[in-house]
């Protein structure tokens, strides 16, 4: 375990985000998740860094459920999948591009998994919308590794115009309009959010849902000093009930996650009973602590985009365990070799969470 920790520190995928005492807010007791009135034909995913890995793993595993995915600042599906060392050497800047992992290996894995029925048929990916964002100054993720997310998906989607790749002059971060330091500065102390005069949350959801709705940008017509406040409810939910084993911590997932229900998705305000959209966002490494996660969630831009566009948004949380000291989502097989398939332990839990909201799981 010691060595794993050292490798992680060496890779610096993570700089420690310490809970800042003046940021602490009270977390209400977790609710039990229930079904919500959401569209089943436009469920989307996004993630940052290790959360991007989780988003693409869930997307490829259960492609029949989804409409698209947004991937921020990470290498492609199953890059360097056998260990953190392999990932570090072959998929991160630590390896200096000497022996890069070939994305065609990942395409082969996906086809093999499809044949073994460990993932949904890949034909479901045709017509899906894929958004890829990367900062060219990223300290950890090589630009070409992130760009190969697009090459991976091009193999399976029907139309290249359904894939958008955006490159910014930015470090390893999720871009926002107003939070953190400038885009070209290290964002480790700001929960990996950067002030880029650009909302990654809006850009991603606008691209993913543009064939379903006219997605409004809540930041555009607003003075920077006057960002609107969110109007919906950000609530903790009990995540452990979705794990049938003894203790959800065994899978490096937290006992609670967060759900954001925009006002217009709450039954008492949704008079016309119009379904909302459903989106799931996955945090990066070292954002597992609920207080840190809240800081990330509140400042990421997702909540205001959710309000403006009736998007119910779920933020599942990991936790820190000895085999995963930084609370990363599993992108290097610490929960088992099938981590990127329907049999993946974290994937099973998040799938059950989505099913509950869709009303498929009582």
DSSP one-letter code for 107: H
How near is the Cβ of 177 to ligand NAG at its closest, in Å?
Answer: 8
3 state DSSP class of 324: strand
Q: Which residues pair with 47 in a beta bridge?
A: 71, 282
Q: Judged by CB, which is closer to ligand NAG: 23, or 158? A: 158
Q: What is the closest distance, in whole angstroms, from the C-beta atom of residue 197 to ligand NAG in the complex?
A: 4
Looking only at residues 42 through 101 of this chain, which bind ligand NAG when binding is defined by CB under 6 A?
none
CB of 208 to ligand NAG, least distance (A): 13
Q: Return the residue of 20, 23, 35, 247 that touches ligand NAG, per CB under 6 A.
A: 247
Using CB under 6 A as the binding rule, whether residue 223 contacts ligand NAG is answered as no
Q: Which CB sits closer to ligand NAG, 270 or 291?
A: 291
For residues 5 and 212, the answer to whether their CB atoms sit within 8 Å is no
User: Which CA distances in Å does 1 have to 80, 86, 323, 327, 334?
Assistant: 19, 16, 6, 14, 11
Q: Are 154 and 183 in contact (CB under 8 A)?
A: no
Q: Is the dihedral of CA 239, 179, 69, 41 positive or negative?
A: positive
Bridge-partner residues for 66, per DSSP?
Answer: none
249: contact with ligand NAG by CB under 6 A: yes
If binding is defined by CB under 6 A, does position 127 make contact with ligand NAG? no
Of the pair 223, 229, the CB lying nearest ligand NAG is at 223
Q: Which of residues 154-193 bind ligand NAG (CB under 6 A)?
A: 159, 161
Nearer to ligand NAG, 82 or 160 (CB): 160
CA–CA gap between residue 220 and residue 198 (Å, rounded): 9
Nearer to ligand NAG, 35 or 197 (CB): 197
Residue whose CB is less far from ligand NAG, 88 or 200: 200
Kindly tell me the burial class for residue 36, based on how many C-beta atoms sit within 10 Å of its own C-beta (0-12, 13-18, 19 or more): buried
Residues that bind ligand NAG (CB under 6 A): 159, 161, 197, 247, 249
């Amino acid at each position: 375990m010691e060595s794993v920790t050292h490798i992680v520190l060496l890779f610096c995928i993570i700089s420690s985000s310490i809970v800042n005492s003046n940021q602490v807010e009270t977390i209400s007791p977790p609710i039990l998740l229930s079904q919500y009135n959401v569209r089943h034909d436009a469920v989307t995913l996004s993630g940052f860094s290790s959360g991007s890995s989780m988003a693409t793993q869930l997307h490829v595993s259960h492609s029949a459920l989804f409409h698209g995915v947004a991937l921020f600042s990470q290498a492609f599906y199953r890059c360097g999948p056998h260990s953190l060392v392999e990932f570090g050497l072959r998929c991160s800047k630590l390896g200096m591009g000497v022996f890069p992992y070939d994305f065609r290996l990942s395409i082969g894995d996906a086809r093999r998994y499809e044949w073994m029925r460990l993932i949904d048929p890949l034909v479901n990916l045709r017509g899906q919308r894929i958004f890829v964002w990367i900062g060219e100054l990223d300290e950890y993720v090589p630009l070409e590794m992130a760009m190969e997310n697009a090459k991976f998906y091009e193999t399976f989607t029907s139309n290249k115009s359904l894939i958008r790749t955006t490159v910014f002059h930015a470090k390893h971060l999720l871009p926002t309009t107003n939070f953190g330091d400038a885009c070209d500065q290290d964002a480790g102390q700001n929960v990996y959010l950067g002030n880029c005069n650009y909302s990654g949350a809006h850009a991603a959801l606008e691209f993913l849902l543009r064939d379903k709705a006219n997605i409004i940008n809540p930041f555009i017509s607003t003075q920077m000093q006057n960002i609107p406040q969110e109007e919906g409810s950000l609530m903790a939910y009990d995540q452990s009930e979705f794990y049938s084993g003894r203790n959800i911590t065994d899978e490096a997932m937290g006992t609670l996650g967060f759900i954001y229900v925009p006002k217009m998705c709450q039954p008492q305000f949704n008079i016309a009973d119009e379904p909302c959209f459903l989106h799931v966002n996955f945090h990066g490494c070292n954002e597992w602590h609920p207080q840190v996660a809240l800081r990330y969630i509140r400042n990421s831009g997702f909540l205001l985009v959710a309000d403006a566009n009736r998007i119910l948004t779920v933020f599942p949380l990991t936790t820190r365990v000895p085999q995963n000291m930084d609370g990363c989502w599993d992108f290097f097989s610490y929960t088992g070799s099938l981590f990127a398939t329907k049999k993946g332990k974290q994937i099973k839990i998040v799938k059950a969470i989505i099913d509950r909201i869709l009303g498929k799981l009582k």
